[in-house]
Amino acid sequence: MADIERHHTNQRMSQIVKHNGTVYLAGQVGTAGASVAQQTQDCLDKVDALLAEAGSDKTRVLQAVIWLADMADFDEMNGVWDAWVAEGHAPARACGEAKLARPDFTVEIIVTAAA
């Protein structure tokens, strides 16, 4: 049976879970109250750091789920997302609208990657 590694863990959640060569990241949010573009960049910066800690990187992302507080922000978020995705390495992706944990969060990104 493969071991499960958990990093940055508290009672509620782990920021990183590794199992069987797959890295699962908790949902990442940006600086509350910042613009959609800045929150998206903050999320992606956190994703980069967590993936590096887990021995992976954005070229190994398998899937991303993006939640926006308002789908009207889709283009602004995508401007940052498109600049971040490594050419030839676009993951499977979904984007939807959801009420996020705090009203001043506009973007949350959840990533699964190969280790």
Contact 10, 26 (CB under 8 A): no
Structure confidence by residue, pLDDT tens digits, 76-106: 999 999 999 999 999 999 999 999 999 999 9
Sketch the domain layout of the chain as residue ranges: 4-114
Distance in angstroms (rounded) separating the CA atoms of residues 113 and 29 = 18
Contact 108, 71 (CB under 8 A): no
Q: Which two tokens stand for residue 28?
A: 């990442």
CATH topology of domain 4-114: 60s Ribosomal Protein L30; Chain: A; (3.30.1330)
The dihedral over CA atoms of 10, 41, 89, 50, expressed in degrees to the nearest 10, equals -20
User: Structure pTM?
Assistant: 0.95
Give me the sign of the Cα torsion angle 61, 65, 69, 72.
positive
**Residue (of 100, 38, 20, 115) closest to 65 by Cα position:** 100
**Residue (of 54, 55, 81) closest to 68 by Cα position:** 81
Alpha-carbon Rg for the chain, nearest whole angstrom, is 14
| pLDDT at residue 29, as a whole number | 98
| pLDDT at residue 2, as a whole number | 76
Structure confidence by residue, pLDDT tens digits, 31-81: 999 999 999 999 999 999 999 999 999 999 999 999 999 999 999 999 999
